[in-house]
Amino acid sequence: MKTSDFFYDLPQELIADRPLEKRDEARLMHIKKETGEISHNKFYEIVDILDKGDVLVFNDTKVLQCRLFAQKTDTKARIEFLFLNILNDFTAEVIAKPAKRLKIGTKLSLEKNETIEFEVIDEAEDDGIKTVKFSQNIYEILDDYGEIPLPHYMNRRADEQDNDDYQTVYAKEAGSVAAPTAGLHFTEELLEKLKAKGIKLLFITLKVGIGTFKPVKTDNPLEHNMHSEEYYVSKDTAAALNEALEAKKRIVAVGTTVVRTLESACVDGKIKSGNNSTNIMIIPPYKFKAVSALITNFHLPESTLMFLISAFYEREKILAAYKTAVDERYRFFSYGDAMFME
């Protein structure tokens, strides 16, 4: 199996750079795996599609305003920082673009406020990761000047509207550099309707990290290096999930981050609670241990997320479904439409 086996053609105009005004009016492609039947719905119709007794699992992570724009002190060359790991109040690991211009000892200042200065004090061998020391408290800098880290394929900088649009309505635990985008379609009203139908809503936390932005550059997918991400499953959530597994209730993951969390936390047929980390890459063939249905957005070609959904539903059938989505003019990626596979 090659990375190129997960490629599909996508017209540029189908990439969504803004969400719909009403989140739950996005389109929803519904796929029944057993029959291959595909139907086209509005996302709010998920209430009718799901069954009483289903368990819906969400990732309640919150996206940090963790993109900053800086300039080199000597040349005024513009540098983009994406914060990955805040080590202390004044030091952080960042992805810098362009990274080659930044060596240890390079001094910079904030684009929007030149009185805020910082310096590169260490660097990794690859991935453009730098360790940077700031002259002021990092959390205060991000609060005042940080931007929501929109994916680069949107070809624009984030604005005030994105501060709301790029968060789920149930976002709670700060720490991600990208949104769990399948959850962006849910509204408070829709969540209440799901509960009223008898669908159980549970929450885990996976802090989405650098892996979301890292393209697969190897011909062999198995040679791709997945970065580790932290996750947390509470005791109550683990107990409810194990009860559902024992009763053979359907566990529906809202997004691939939930899939990766539950599949990593499932050991010997039971979900383990607590803090942990995962670098799991799910790729065909894979036998799912916990998740039996999936709500997800449409993903980039040749990405680890295409690997995952191709493990959930056969690769050839996924690619055929994506061609249907293109033909039907679905909207793709983070602010785009959704798919439900059962």
Ranges of each domain in the chain: 3-63+167-341, 67-146
Cβ atoms of 196 and 284 within 8 Å: the answer is no
Q: What is the DSSP letter of 272?
A: P
Cβ atoms of 184 and 208 within 8 Å: the answer is no
Q: Is the pTM above the cut of 0.75?
A: yes
Cβ atoms of 250 and 51 within 8 Å: the answer is yes
pLDDT at residue number 126: 65
CB-based burial label for 277 (10 Å; 0-12, 13-18, 19+):
middle
pLDDT at residue number 36: 95
Structural element, H or E, at residue 150: none
Two tokens at 338?
A: 């959704």
235-258 burial string, b = 16+ CB within 10 Å, else e? Answer: eebbebbbebbeeebbbbbbbbbb
- Sequence-ordered list of residues with C-beta below 8 angstroms from that of 253, at least 6 positions apart, any chain: 57, 259, 262, 291, 293, 294, 295
CATH number, domain 67-146, options 1.10.1270.20, 2.40.10.240, 3.40.50.720, 3.40.50.1820: 2.40.10.240
**CATH architecture under which domain 3-63+167-341 falls:** 3-Layer(aba) Sandwich (3.40)
Q: Which residues pair with 56 in a beta bridge?
A: 201, 252
Whole-number Cα distances in Å, 269 to 105, 218, 285: 50, 33, 19
**DSSP count for the chain of H helices, then E strands:** 8, 19
Checking DSSP bridges between strand 293-297 and strand 338-341, what pairing results, if any?
antiparallel
Strands (E), 106-233: 107-110, 117-123, 129-134, 173-176, 200-206, 229-233
- What is the distance between the terminal CA atoms of the chain, rounded to a whole angstrom? 25
pLDDT at residue number 209: 86
Q: Please list the ranges in the chain whose pLDDT falls under 50.
A: none
